[in-house]
Chains A and B, each alone.
Chain A
Amino acid sequence: MSGYKQAFKKAFPYTIPVLTGYLFIGIAFGVMYAEKGYSFLWAILMSLLVYAGSGQYLGVNFFVPGVSFLQVIFLTLMVNVRHIFYGISLLEKFNNMDKKRWYMIFGLTDETYSLLCTTNVPKDVDEEKFLFAISLMNQCYWVIGSALGGIAGNFLPFNSEGIEFAMTALFVVIFVEQWMSKENRIPELIGVVAALICLQIFGAGQFVLPTMLVIIAVLFIGRKRISREVDNPCH
Chain B
Amino acid sequence: MPLDAKTSFLIILAMALTTFATRVIPFLLFPKGKEVPKTVQYLGTVLTPAVIGMLVVYCLKSTEVISYPYGIPELIAVTAVVVLHVWKRNNLLSIGCGTILYMIIIQAVF
B51-65 contacts to A (CB < 8 Å):
51-62
Q: State whether B18 touches A76 (Cβ < 8 A).
A: yes
- Contact partner of A235 (CB less than 8 A), chosen from B31, B45, B92, is B45
A-B contact count (CB 8 A): 279
Q: Mark A147-162, 1 if CB is under 8 A from B, else 0.
A: 0000000000001011
- Contact partner of B102 (CB less than 8 A), chosen from A45, A49, A165, A187, is A165
Q: A65-B2, A77-B22, A162-B99 are in contact. Are A215 and B45 (CB under 8 A)?
A: no
Q: State whether A173 touches B42 (Cβ < 8 A).
A: no
Query: Is A94 engaged at the interface, CB distance under 8 Å to the other chain?
Result: yes
Q: Mark A187-207, 1 if CB is under 8 A from B, else 0.
A: 111111011100100001001
B9-58 contacts to A (CB < 8 Å):
9-16, 18-27, 30-33, 36, 39-58
Query: Is A121 engaged at the interface, CB distance under 8 Å to the other chain?
Result: no
- Contact partner of A173 (CB less than 8 A), chosen from B12, B13, B94, B105, is B94
Query: Is A89 engaged at the interface, CB distance under 8 Å to the other chain?
Result: yes
Which residues of A lie under 8 Å from residue B59 when comparing CB positions?
Answer: 167-168, 171
Query: Is A3 engaged at the interface, CB distance under 8 Å to the other chain?
Result: no
Q: State whether B23 touches A108 (Cβ < 8 A).
A: yes
The CA of A177 and the CA of B22, in the complex, are separated in Å by 27
Q: State whether A191 touches B18 (Cβ < 8 A).
A: no
Query: Is B91 engaged at the interface, CB distance under 8 Å to the other chain?
Result: yes
Q: State whether A92 touches B95 (Cβ < 8 A).
A: no
Q: State whether A187 touches B53 (Cβ < 8 A).
A: yes
Q: A165-B99, A191-B49 are in contact. Are A72 and B15 (CB under 8 A)?
A: yes
Q: State whether A80 touches B18 (Cβ < 8 A).
A: yes
Q: State whether B62 touches A187 (Cβ < 8 A).
A: no
The CA of A216 and the CA of B47, in the complex, are separated in Å by 8
Q: A17-B91, A50-B16, A114-B52 are in contact. Are A87 and B27 (CB under 8 A)?
A: yes
- Contact partner of A63 (CB less than 8 A), chosen from B8, B53, B102, B107, is B8
| 6 A-B pairs (CB sep. < 8 Å) | A55-B19, A72-B18, A88-B26, A91-B36, A110-B55, A212-B51
Known contacts A172-B94, A175-B53; 19 additional CB pairs below 8 A are A16-B92, A42-B1, A67-B3, A73-B18, A86-B47, A87-B26, A91-B27, A92-B44, A162-B106, A163-B99, A165-B77, A167-B59, A168-B78, A169-B102, A171-B56, A172-B98, A173-B81, A207-B61, A230-B45
Q: Give the top 3 A-B pairs by smallest Cβ distance, nearest first.
A: A191-B53, A87-B26, A195-B57
Q: Which residues of B contact A (CB under 8 A)?
A: 1-3, 8-16, 18-27, 30-33, 36, 39-62, 74, 77-78, 81-82, 85-86, 91-92, 94-96, 98-99, 102-103, 105-107
Q: Which residues of A contact B (CB under 8 A)?
A: 16-17, 20-21, 24, 36-38, 42, 45-46, 49-52, 55-56, 59, 62-65, 67, 69, 72-73, 76-77, 80-92, 94-95, 101, 105-106, 108, 110, 113-114, 117-118, 159, 161-163, 165-178, 184-185, 187-192, 194-196, 199, 204, 207-208, 211-212, 215-216, 219-220, 223, 226-227, 230, 232-235
